[in-house]
Amino acid sequence: MTVTATSVDESDQLEPPSAPASRWAARLRRLLPAAAAALSGVLLYVSFPPRTLWWLALPAFAVFGWVLRGRGWKAAFGLGYLFGLGFLLPLLVWTGVEVGPGPWLALVAIEAIFVALVGVGVAAVSKLPGAPVWAAAVWIAGEAARARVPFHGFPWGKIAFGQADGVFLPLAAVGGTPVLGFAVVLCGFGLYEVVRLVVERRGTGAVRRPAAVVALLSVVVPVVGALAARGLVSDKAEDGTVTVAAIQGNVPRAGLEFNAQRRAVLDYHARETERLAARVKAGKVAKPDIVLWPENSSDVDPYTDADAAATIEKAAQAIDAPISVGGVVERGGKLYNEQILWDPVKGPTDTYDKRQIQPFGEYLPLRSVVGAINKNWTSMVRQDFSRGTKPGVFRMANAKVGLVTCYEAAFDWAVRSEVTDGAQLISVPSNNATFDRSEMTYQQLAMSRVRAVEHSRTVTVPVTSGVSAIIMPDGRITQRTGMFVPASLVQKVPLRSSETPATLMGTLPEMLLVLVAAGGLGWAISAGLRGRRTGDV
C-alpha cells in the first residue's frame, strides 16, 4: 500500500474555529465597562420619582465604582460621560416637551461633562485608602459645581432629590442635600468595595483588614446616621397652626390664542377660589386663613389691568382671606415673575420677585448665538425677566409664609434664605403646564419633600395644572391633586420656627465635602507623581 504525501499551501489552512469566538469575547470584554457605565446611569435614573425605587441608587454607584477603579483619566472621562448620559438623558427629557429635542440634547451634553469630570476624580482616588469616602466627596463636589455654573447653575438631578421616599431622608435635616447625597453615594461606593474585597479574599485567601473596616463602615455609617437623624424630624406645631388653601385652577388645553389663554388661567383660579368659598359657606370645608395661588396664575398684570385686579379682589373677598397671587408684572420697562400678597380689604400689600430665574425659559443667555441656530427659540423668550434681590416672606393671618417660586426649589440657598428670614411654612408656587404630563412635576414635588425635612417646615405646592400638594415637615404628602383638573386643598398645618442643623450651617457641609474631595485628589496626584519618579507605575 502506497501513501502519497499531499502538499497543502499555508494560506489554504483553515483558521482554528475557536479564534473568531475568542476575538468576539475580547471585544465584548472591552465593551463591557462602557455598557455597564451607561446602564448604571439608567439605573440611577430609575431610582428617581415618580418611581419609589430610591434604593437602586446604591447598586448604580456600586457599578460605577467598579468600572472606574484604576482607570486612566481618558478612560474615566469617557466612562463618566456615558454614566452621565444614561442618567440625564431620560431624567431631563421633559425639557424638550415644548421646544423639541435640540435644547434637551444640548443641556444633557453639557451637564454630562460635569459627570465625566467627576468620573476622572473618582478614578484618581479609587486606589487610595478609604476610597469610598474620597469618591463620594468628589461626587458632591461635582454637584456643587453643577449648581453654580454655567448660567447660575442647574442642580436638577442632585442625588438627594431621588431620596424623598428613602431611609436616608432624615439626613437632609443634618446637612441639607449635600450630606443626604453624600450618604447615598458613599453607601453605593462602599457596597462595591465590600463586594470587591469578598472576591479578593476568595481568590487569595486573605483580606486587608483596614480596607475591610472602611468598606463596611461606608455602608453601615450612612444607614445608622440616617436612623439616628430621625430625632430631628418632627411635624409638631411650635407656633400654633394655620389653615391653608392651595388652589389649582387648571389651564385651557387648546383653542385660545396667547393673551386669551392668560386671561382664562386667571379666571380659572378666581373661579376655583369662589367655588371653595361656596363650600366653606355651606359648611363642607373649614375656612382657610390663607390662600395660595400658583406661579403664573395671573399673567395679566393686575397693576395695569383694572379688570384683572377686580377679578382677584372679588375672589379674595369671596374667600375672606389674603391670597398670594402669582403674576407677571412690568415695572420700569422690566419684567418680573412676582408673587403678590392680595388682602381682601387693602388689595395688594407686598410682593416677592423671583430671584433664581430659569435660563432659556425666563431669560435667554447668548441670545444672538441661540437666534443664529434657531429663531423660533428667541421668539419664545421675547423679553428677559429680571431678578429679584430680596427674600420673600409674607405675613398672612398668623403665619409667616416663605415664597420659593417653582425652579427656585432646586437651589439650596433660595429655600434656606426664606427660613432664615423667619418663614414658619414654605410655599412653592409653580407652573408646570408647559411640561404636560412629564415626570418633571413629580421630580419637583420630591424636591419639596426633601426641603420640608431639610428645614422642618410644612411645604405647600400650589401648581396651575398639578400636581399640587401639602407636605408635612417630616416629608409626608397628606393631600395631593391630580393633573389637569381644577381642585383645592384645605388643611390645618403646623407652624414651626426652630432651625435644623442644616438650616443653621447653610453651605458649610457642602464646602467641607468639597475640601475633602480636594484633599483626596491632591493625595492621588502626589502619589502618582511619586510613582513616576520611582518608576513604580
Distance CA 152, CA 34 (A): 31
CB-based contacts of 370, cutoff 8 Å, min separation 6? 360, 364, 377, 378
Helix (H, G, I), strand (E, B) or coil at 334: strand
Distance CA 175, CA 432 (A): 29
Chain-centroid distance, C-alpha 531: 40
How buried is residue 467: exposed, middle or buried, by Cβ count under 10 Å (0-12/13-18/19+)?
Answer: buried
Single out the catalytic residue among 143, 338, 406, 408.
406
Helix (H, G, I), strand (E, B) or coil at 21: helix
CB-based contacts of 177, cutoff 8 Å, min separation 6? 143, 155, 158, 160, 161, 412, 450, 454
Three-class SS of 103-141: HHHHHHHHHHHHHHHHHHHHHHHCCCCCHHHHHHHHHHH
Chain-centroid distance, C-alpha 203: 41
Single out the catalytic residue among 143, 272, 354, 510.
354
CB 429 within 8 A of CB 340: no
The residue type found at 514 is V
Distance CA 66, CA 64 (A): 5
Single out the catalytic residue among 295, 408, 439, 510.
295
Can you state the angle between helices 508-534 and 131-146, rounded to 10 degrees? 120
Known catalytic membership, residue 346: no
Known catalytic membership, residue 187: no
Chain-centroid distance, C-alpha 532: 41
DSSP for 474-526, written as a single string: TS-EEEE--SSS-EEEEEEEE------HHHHHTTHHHHHHHHHHHHHHHHHHH
Which triple of cell numbers denotes residue 405?
417660586
Known catalytic membership, residue 236: no
Give the residue numbers marked as catalytic. Answer: 295, 354, 406
